[in-house]
């Protein structure tokens, strides 16, 4: 007696992540967008009668990658100001360019471009922080990805909003509009301790409690940020944030390159997560996040790309590899961050940080079928004795062959299926000709 199912995927290997198993010659049955069963392929073939049967004889199937920190729309500003330190990069290039360019159209098109890049590279969910989250939502919905969009808040005016109240009202209105959307959620996103004042942080803390919202914030990105805070507030940023009630289990701190042991203990005690962005930290010479000490303290650490203007790839394969290499390099310890641990950071830990660990982040029964197949039938990935090692150290986003989100196929045999690339390319040509970039 066979059972009906929507989709059956046979794979050479399945990296389930939780539990951290590498299954061989197994299949995933998908029903109503969720993972219904994981079982040996020969059993699956006699048990299921699928509407669609995908055979992946040379592939590794893994959970969709989760980009825990980006500014998606900045993909339109890729490469406009390279090789500069953070504050000069922001003050002399990025903020002036944003003042001239940022509009709902800019954010919608830039977010859609970022989504296409991420999708092609096996990223199925991302956490974003940018202006006009309502326009970012349109880009995400068109793309089919899953996202946690930031209700960005600053204490100075931009083309988007005039003051903290205006930022909050606009961001909360966007959240209200998309409250029922199955692939979207919102977080409060105070930009950083140096751009948001005490009074605004107190308001945000109250709103976070009332609406049960997480908080997404850059923290301790550079040594300069910490010194400025000591001068202006008489305390280091994290101490100030703790006093203002910002730290909690829903808080995702981004970067955290400058931490002492007391601050690591503080982050652990409050249950905060950290979004580690190794490429951005290296490119802006911000410092190296003490990932091993954070993990030793029991802190949940996920991976992020940061925006395309400071990376310049929204490529989670690159982040996995850089995280592993940077941890070994900074600790003088080749055993630091082995491949399986890095894969967990790029998937399940990202889900935990977003409060989505019961929905995504691993291949487990009942979770959303957000799945990515990596094709190992390439000379540079042969022979293969340890698929997880290949995934982190040898493979790249160019090897992604299939991507499903909630069981819907978005990439098949490396071809993008549901994306209107012609329309996106037309709008990118218009952005290419805008004089404000020069
Ligand atoms: Zn950032």
Identify the band that residue 244 occupies on the pLDDT scale cut at 50, 70 and 90: very high
**For 13-39, what is the mean pLDDT?**
96
- pLDDT tens, residue by residue, 377-400: 999 999 999 999 999 999 999 999
Q: How many angstroms separate the Cα of 392 from the Cα of each of 117, 140, 321, 348, 369? A: 19, 27, 6, 16, 22
Identify the band that residue 368 occupies on the pLDDT scale cut at 50, 70 and 90: very high
Quickly tell me which residue has 């079928």 as its tokens. Answer: 369
Q: Environment class of residue 421 by beta-carbon count within 10 Å: exposed (0-12), middle (13-18) or buried (19+)? A: exposed
Identify the band that residue 1 occupies on the pLDDT scale cut at 50, 70 and 90: confident
**CA 63 to CA 50: how far, in whole Å?**
21
Q: Which pLDDT score, from 0 to 100, does residue 438 have?
A: 67
pLDDT at 172 > cutoff 70: yes
410, containing H or E segment: strand 408-412
- In the Cβ-directed half-sphere of 108, how many Cα atoms lie within 13 Å? 11
From ligand 1's centre to the CA of 421, what distance in Å?
27
From ligand 1's centre to the CA of 14, what distance in Å?
32
148, containing H or E segment: strand 146-153
Q: Which pLDDT score, from 0 to 100, does residue 86 have?
A: 84
Identify the band that residue 420 occupies on the pLDDT scale cut at 50, 70 and 90: confident
Which carries the bigger pLDDT value, residue 84 or residue 52? Answer: 52
From ligand 1's centre to the CA of 284, what distance in Å?
11
Q: Environment class of residue 126 by beta-carbon count within 10 Å: exposed (0-12), middle (13-18) or buried (19+)? A: buried
**CA 194 to CA 218: how far, in whole Å?**
10
Q: How many angstroms separate the Cα of 342 from the Cα of each of 13, 142, 326, 387? A: 18, 30, 12, 14
From ligand 1's centre to the CA of 398, what distance in Å?
25
From ligand 1's centre to the CA of 137, what distance in Å?
18
DSSP string of 74-93, one letter each residue: GGGGTTSS-S--HHHIIIII
Q: How many angstroms separate the Cα of 317 from the Cα of each of 25, 230, 397, 399? A: 24, 37, 6, 10
From ligand 1's centre to the CA of 368, what distance in Å?
27
Residue count of the chain, please give it.
438
Identify the band that residue 81 occupies on the pLDDT scale cut at 50, 70 and 90: confident
From ligand 1's centre to the CA of 277, what distance in Å?
9
From ligand 1's centre to the CA of 393, what distance in Å?
25
- pLDDT tens, residue by residue, 57-71: 999 999 999 999 999
Q: Which pLDDT score, from 0 to 100, does residue 419 have?
A: 80
- pLDDT tens, residue by residue, 117-152: 999 999 999 999 999 999 999 999 999 999 999 999
**CA 55 to CA 28: how far, in whole Å?**
11
Q: Which pLDDT score, from 0 to 100, does residue 311 have?
A: 93
pLDDT at 428 > cutoff 90: yes
SS3 content of the chain, % helix, strand, coil (to 5): 45, 25, 30
From ligand 1's centre to the CA of 178, what distance in Å?
24
- pLDDT tens, residue by residue, 269-308: 999 999 999 999 999 999 999 999 999 999 999 999 999 9
| Through-space distance between the first and last CA atoms of the chain, rounded to whole angstroms | 66
Contact 251, 205 (CB under 8 A): no
From ligand 1's centre to the CA of 256, what distance in Å?
11
From ligand 1's centre to the CA of 306, what distance in Å?
5
From ligand 1's centre to the CA of 71, what distance in Å?
6
Identify the band that residue 38 occupies on the pLDDT scale cut at 50, 70 and 90: very high
Contact 257, 281 (CB under 8 A): yes
Identify the band that residue 331 occupies on the pLDDT scale cut at 50, 70 and 90: very high
Q: Which pLDDT score, from 0 to 100, does residue 80 have?
A: 87
- pLDDT tens, residue by residue, 249-280: 999 999 999 999 999 999 999 999 999 999 99
pTM: 0.97
pLDDT at 436 > cutoff 80: no
Among 287, 306, 314, 256, smallest CA distance to 94 is for 306
Among 187, 71, 183, 54, smallest CA distance to 124 is for 183
Q: Which pLDDT score, from 0 to 100, does residue 246 have?
A: 98
In the chain, the percentage of residues whose pLDDT exceeds 90 is 91
**For 179-193, what is the mean pLDDT?**
97
Quickly tell me which residue has 């669609």 as its tokens. Answer: 52
**For 426-432, what is the mean pLDDT?**
92
pLDDT at 435 > cutoff 80: no
pLDDT at 110 > cutoff 70: yes
Instruction: Please list, in sequence order, all residues whose beta carbon lies within 8 angstroms of the beta carbon of residue 131, skipping any fewer than 6 positions away.
Output: 73, 98, 102, 107, 152, 158, 159, 160, 161
Among 103, 28, 37, smallest CA distance to 59 is for 28
């Amino acid at each position: 007696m066979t059972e009906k199912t929507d989709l059956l995927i046979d794979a050479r290997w399945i990296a389930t992540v939780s539990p951290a198993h590498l299954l061989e010659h197994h299949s995933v049955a998908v029903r109503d967008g969720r993972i219904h069963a994981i079982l040996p392929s020969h059993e699956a073939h006699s048990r299921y009668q699928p509407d669609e049967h995908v055979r992946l004889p040379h592939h590794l199937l893994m959970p969709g990658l989760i980009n825990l920190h980006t500014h998606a729309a900045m993909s339109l500003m890729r490469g406009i100001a390279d090789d500069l330190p953070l504050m000069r990069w922001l003050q002399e290039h990025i903020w002036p360019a944003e003042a001239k360019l940022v509009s709902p159209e800019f954010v919608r098109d830039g977010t859609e471009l970022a989504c296409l890049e991420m999708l092609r590279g096996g990223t199925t969910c991302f956490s974003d922080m940018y202006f006009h989250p309502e326009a970012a939502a349109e880009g995400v919905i068109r793309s089919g990805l899953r996202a946690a969009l930031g209700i960005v808040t600053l204490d100075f005016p931009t083309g988007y909003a005039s003051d903290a109240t205006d930022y909050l009202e606009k961001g909360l209105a966007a959240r209200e509009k998309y409250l029922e959307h199955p692939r979207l959620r919102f977080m409060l996103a105070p930009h950083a301790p140096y751009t948001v004042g005490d009074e605004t942080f107190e308001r945000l803390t109250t709103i976070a409690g009332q609406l049960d919202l997480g908080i997404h914030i850059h923290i301790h990105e550079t040594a300069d940020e910490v010194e400025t805070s000591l001068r202006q507030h008489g305390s280091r940023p994290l101490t100030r944030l703790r006093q203002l009630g910002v730290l909690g289990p829903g808080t995702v701190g981004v970067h955290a390159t400058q931490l002492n042991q007391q601050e690591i203990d503080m982050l652990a005690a409050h249950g905060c997560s950290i979004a580690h962005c190794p490429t951005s930290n290296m490119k802006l010479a911000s410092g190296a996040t003490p990932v091993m000490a954070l993990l030793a303290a029991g802190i949940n650490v996920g991976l992020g790309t940061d925006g395309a203007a400071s990376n310049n790839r929204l490529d989670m394969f690159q982040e996995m590899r850089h995280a592993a290499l940077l941890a070994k390099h900074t600790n003088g310890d080749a055993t630091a961050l082995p491949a399986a641990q890095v894969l967990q950071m790029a998937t399940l830990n990202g889900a935990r940080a977003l409060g989505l660990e019961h929905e995504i982040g691993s291949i487990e029964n009942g979770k959303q079928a957000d799945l990515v197949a990596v094709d190992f039938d390439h000379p540079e990935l042969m022979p293969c004795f340890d698929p997880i090692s290949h995934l982190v150290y040898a493979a790249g986003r160019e090897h992604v062959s299939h991507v499903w989100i909630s069981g819907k196929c978005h990439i098949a045999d490396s071809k993008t299926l549901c994306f209107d690339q012609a329309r996106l390319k037309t709008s990118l040509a218009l952005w290419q000709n805008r004089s404000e970039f020069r």
